[in-house]
Amino acid sequence: MATAELTNPADALEAFRKDAADWLAANFPKSLVGKENVLATVEGGSDPDPEAVGWKRAMGEKGWGTPTWPKEYGGGGLSFAEARVLQEEMGKIGAWNPIGGMGVMMLGPTLLEFASEEQKQRHIPPICRGEIRWCQGYSEPGAGSDLASLQTKCEDKGDHWLVNGQKTWTSGGQWADWCFALVRTDTSKKHEGISFILLDMKSPGVEVKPIRMISGTSPFCETFFTDVKVPKENLVGDLGNGWTIGKRLLQHERTNLSGGGSLGRGQGPSLSDIAKHYVGTDAEGRIADADLRMRIVRHEMEAQAFKATARRVMLESKSGNISLGSSILKNVGARITQERAELTLEIMGMNGLGWSGDGFNPAELGATRGWLWGKAVSIYGGTTEIQNNVIAKRILGMLDHQ
């Protein structure tokens, strides 16, 4: 048979591994090891390191920041197996992915599925190169968990759309170049009256006001649209199909927000080590506070069960479908993130409640802010309660039954 001459898949993968390692060695500057700033993909850059800029450009041109996206739109065109090899090779030398943000996590996969060919050609390549920061225009003051009650009006003015209204909790809105938004194109229907548009944040009539949070930071904004003109070609999918597209995007968001990635890295000292330091140990080397020790065990066990589930969901969904488990991961990830923060605070005592200044080390101040910031994870991207509704309705079929 003619196919007998074809390369064995395992050999091909090993050949790719060598190519990837060579390319990474030639392009990743060693000085950048340990300098990954995950927020850089969302927040504005403050005098960026020229080496980091070069690394981002190299990865962007190679398409390896979005390794499995199609090559024709600027992605890497790699198989999942190749992407895993790439990740392994990057891990070996401490290289990190400089391409990220909401364009990569949420919008890109959605555009690949729903956008027109022209829209894909225009919007996906800049995401792959990390040139455009996207923000999400979903929530409104009156539309939180009940997102479909959103009111931001989008009127057909013949040669353009006219958008009026207010969005809120716009993550990174003050730094974003573009916004993907759910808007109301029909007031007579709830879900079918919603459309999905792409909006240039530099358009006249767009105003952004950062919101100060309990953690003292302002990662979210209120975004006001006053008579904002949007070109007709910026509607994604059909008129009135925004709810379907928007929900699909939320699935990507929830998968990404569950924290699986960051929990998997095992960064920093373990809770038990922090507890040994602050609380001390007994004669047998156990954390001296027996009650706290058991709660740490419960937390660590749940964190491990979460990681095992994230891995299982990933393996199960390799076939390309989003696993049903993504809804579970969001809630469990939120629970674990918040429990870890609460335990850290408890362990540090008053030192875990410092706000700023002398008397507290950076880890302690970070614990305080992280604890407050972490209250968001069970609220954003669908609250825990909404996720439970989703599980009950879509997975368990508890409303569908007559």
Partner 1 sequence: MAVLNEEQSMLRDMARDWANEQSPVTAFRKVRDAGEAIGFDPKAFAAQAEMGWTGVIIPEAYGGSDFGYLSLGLVLEETGRTLTASPLGTTALAATSALLLAGSEAQKQAWLPKIASGDIIAALAVDEGPRHDPSKIATKAEKSGDGWTLSGTKKFVAEGDGAHLFVVAAQTGSGIGLFLVPADAKGVSRAPRNMVDARSHAEVRFDAVRLDSDALIGPEDGAALLDQVLDRARAGVAAEMLGLAVQAFDDTLAYLKTREQFGEILSRFQALQHRMAHQFTQIELMRSVVEGALEAVDANRDDIAAKVSLAKATACDTLHLVSREMIQLHGGIGMTDEHHAGFYIKRARVLENAWGNAAFHRERFARLAGY
Given the complex with partner 1, which of 31 and 304 has the nearer CB atom? 304
306 binds partner 1 (CB under 8 A): yes
Nearer to partner 1, 222 or 302 (CB): 302
CA distance 145 to 364: 33
**How far is Cα of residue 366 from the mean position of the Cα atoms in its chain?**
21
User: Judged by CB under 8 A, does residue 300 bind partner 1?
Assistant: yes
Among 348, 346, 352, smallest CA distance to 369 is for: 352
Q: Which residue in the set 250, 328, 367, 377 belongs to the binding site for partner 1 (CB under 8 A)?
A: 328
Measure the CA–CA gap between 235 and 221, rounded to whole angstroms.
23
Quick one: how many helices (H) and strands (E) in the chain?
A: 13, 8
Decide whether 105 or 343 has the Cβ nearer to partner 1.
343
The answer to whether residues 29 and 101 touch, using CB atoms and an 8 Å cutoff, is no
Integer Cα distance of 283 and 281 in angstroms: 7
| 197 bridge partner residues | 181, 235
218 binds partner 1 (CB under 8 A): no
For residue 73 the two structure tokens come to 């739109």
Which one, 86 or 334, has the nearer CB to partner 1? 334
Q: Is 321 in the site for partner 1 (CB under 8 A)?
A: no
Backbone CA torsion sign across 65, 381, 174, 369: negative
Of 308, 349, 353, 359, the one binding partner 1 (CB under 8 A) is: 308
- Position 289 contacts partner 1 (CB under 8 A): no
- Which of 82, 89, 140, 253 is catalytic? The answer is 253
CA 360, 362, 366 angle in degrees (round to 5)? 100
Binding segment toward partner 1, per CB under 8 A, in 151-159, 246-254, 300-308, 366-374? 300-308
Q: Where are the beta strands (DSSP E) in 44-116?
A: none
- Site for partner 1 contains 149 (CB under 8 A): no
What does DSSP assign to residue 122?
H
Residue 346 catalytic?
A: no
Asked if 394 interacts with partner 1 (CB under 8 A), we say no
145 near partner 1, judged by CB under 8 A:
no
Give the residues lining the site for partner 1 (CB under 8 A).
272-273, 275-276, 281, 285-287, 293-294, 296-298, 300-302, 304-306, 308-309, 311-312, 315-316, 325, 328, 331-332, 385, 387-389, 391-393, 395-399, 401-402
Catalytically annotated residues: 253
